[in-house]
Structure 1
Amino acid sequence: MILVMSGCAKRVVDNEQISPEQKLVIKFSHVVAENTPKGMAAQRFARLVQERTGGRVEVQVFPNSTLYADGEEMQALRDGAVQIIAPATSKLAGLFPSWQLLDLPYAFVDTEAVHKTMAGPVGQKLIRSLEEQDLLALAFWDNGFKVLTNNVRPIINPADVRGLKFRVMINSSVLKEQFKMLGAQPVPTSFNNVYRLLEENKVQGQENTLSNIYSKKFYRVQPYMTVTNHGYMGYVVLVNKKYWYSIPADIRDILHETMAEVTEWERARAAELNELYYKRLRNNDAIKITTLSPRERVAWEKAFYPVYDYLAREIGAELIDELLREKNACKNLPSGGGSTNKANN
């Protein structure tokens, strides 16, 4: 798929032959906590690379925006200040508007559908757009599907968000439009600012994955959560193309193989963590959780239809049509059903 070729060959590196001048240091910057799927995968990648190169390569991981924040990482990568970043796909939209395709609400049935899309024609077109700007996608990592939280009221129907301010990720106009169309006010800001804005009530709500909500403790200032699963959040592991091909070929092979292995591990871990953190949130008295019935979910899907027309005007209809054909081929949503709204303490 994006490019990681897996292999089974094991390499033996003579550690005694390595001098300090030969050591390759790779800085890996990201903005989330270390106990998230991305944070854990970055650390695992660093450890395995050091082991498999016998210390010839050191991957230094900088989590939690300790080196660069949202909006700064891409320029840092281009300038050579860092060598690897893993931004959410939404944050690519400033330079690559077509990547907003992945932000479309209810565009995917599950993560397997996302992987299939990224491995197919739609994903390859998105990847080629990066290469035109001298960027290479080494991998595509999962986080999960987003839910809604807020500090005002339980959200059951799309109309319930009207009048509220919601934080959204920077760069993606699709994320802004999805809230505007529901009568809410989107507030784009970087991830490291979210907790403060919620705590100070400068925004009343936000959309995020369960692992981010739990690891950043948003539930402390957001007493209501609705399991909408309305949008997918994933990450693209990026390197500068020129830098990548300046690395010795044998080292590139090890990095490729290790990234492929870590990608499979990260995807499995993302699913496990989201399930684990959901259980913990359900048992937390600080937050009440609302689960949508199938009928209510359909109402949310219909409310978001205009967002597709909006993006079609932005990037053209071709990619969206391809995406919808893939979605319809695997869509298998439950039908009918009465309300199953629950507030779980």
Structure 2
Amino acid sequence: MTSVHQALAPAPGVTTPGAGAARQVWRRLRRRPAALAAAAVLALLVLVAIAAPLLAHLAGQDPNAYHDDLVDSARGGVPAGSFGGISADHWLGVEPGTGRDLFTRLAYGARVSLLVAAGATFVNIGVGVLAGLAAALGNRFLDSAISWATDVMIALPTLVLGIALTAVVPPGFPRPLLLVLLIGLLGWGGTARIVRAQTLSLRELDFVAAARLSGNGALRVARRELLPSLAAPVITYAAILLPVNIVAEASLSFLGVGVKPPTPSWGQMLSTAQTWFLADPAYVLLPAGLLFVTVLAFTVLGDAVRTALDPREAGRLRVGTKKGGAK
């Protein structure tokens, strides 16, 4: 099976972002209906997350307002009415035990889950690129030190270490920011290893050697020559990391060390829904379904971006299309 590192291995003529290259990548993506569908799903989810306050206003609901009259206390707090309390006022029903509107809480939960995943990916990529470049362009001692640190970060049990670190953080520290830093700073090892491998290959090419022989320093060579060529694999790996980080945030929230109530997140909702699975299956299936769809869409789009940025894969796609048309 092809690993992530093999899939992102440097290839001659790899497409790098630019005006013409961006149009070429877009043309390749348009040939993949699954990628377009995944992009549409993600765009809708991002729109819902951004417009969560507006959607709550249109629904006439406060995501943190309790409605005791909407739950049946005689049955232990199960939502009154059919299908989890769905009504004209509560489009997806209400939360068991509290009666809080489920639609608005899911919308606000999308904000937390997507924002934490995007922020953690940004930190992950930023630290990983800097570490990988420093290892590849530095001396032997620096390369060995960073490579050792990279191996340690990859081997660390991120989830367990994240749970341990959240226990010593001051209570007033913003939990979304804490999750961004934890997931991002504990997961940069894979990015650093890929960037180091790519840089070691690129620095032997003529245009990089010419830049170094011209008297340019390591920083200038990295900024002007290496980073544009590294953009394609880094963008591809970022697309792969996003769904991983969404699952990491959901896992930490599920274990009770993520965002604190009343701030909603999909993982936190799944955690509180464990005791309601039989009594109110919708309360479990809705956040779980959204999490599944989001991760699947990011995975499909990430694979499509990898293919579009790799001219070898694009060439195979064109050959397959021509053969199909000939038949």
**Structure number having the greater helix percentage:** 2
Higher Cα radius of gyration: 2
Asked whether the two chains share a fold, i.e. TM above 0.5, the reply is no
**Structure number having the greater strand percentage:** 1
